[in-house]
Amino acid sequence: MADKNTLKFTPEHEWLDISGTVATIGITDYAAEKLGDVVFVELPKVGSSIQSGKVVGEIESTKSVGELFAPVDGTVTEANGAVTDRPELVNEDPFGAGWMIKVEVADASVFDSLDLLDFAAYTALVGE
């Protein structure tokens, strides 16, 4: 499980673990709890280009449907097959085994240009 203090967050309740030009992306524990038990996850194909702000996946619980938004422009380099096989990983380990996709950007500086929150700011946002 990633150290939350090293992660970046979006107001759409996604987290990014940034390493060089690649970000691992998932949804937060807050989002997972709000959704309830996740029963279906659909992720973009490896190699596909994604555009910031566009819906690239679906996270469906028994009671509702959430969307995975691309937080950045880039190319999908990995999609977590474990989480599509076992959607409950999203609830069990949202910051670890429940990760969704890895995205590569053209240049590491792209991440600096995003309006991302640190853990303290995200915690304040969700009021916990």
Decide if residue 43 touches other proteins (CB under 8 A). no
Q: Find the shortest distance in angstroms from Cβ 120 to other proteins.
A: 20
Q: Which amino acid is at 13?
A: H
Query: Distances in Å between the alpha carbon of 106 and those of 1, 15, 61, 103?
Result: 27, 19, 34, 10
Q: Which of 32, 8, 7 is nearest to 83 (CA)?
A: 32
Binder among 6, 49, 51, 64 for other proteins (CB under 8 A): 64
Span of 44-52, 59-67, 105-113, 114-122 interacting with other proteins by CB under 8 A = 59-67
Span of 1-9, 61-69, 75-83, 112-120 interacting with other proteins by CB under 8 A = 61-69
* Terminal Cα-to-Cα distance of the chain (whole angstroms): 20
∠ CA 28-111-54, rounded to 5°: 60
Span of 6-14, 44-52, 75-83, 106-114 interacting with other proteins by CB under 8 A = 6-14
Tokens of 18: 């940034």
The owner of tokens 């990633």 is 2
In the range 19-38, which residues lie near other proteins by CB under 8 A? 27, 31, 33-37
The residues that touch other proteins, with contacts defined as CB under 8 A, are 12-14, 27, 31, 33-37, 39-40, 58-69, 91
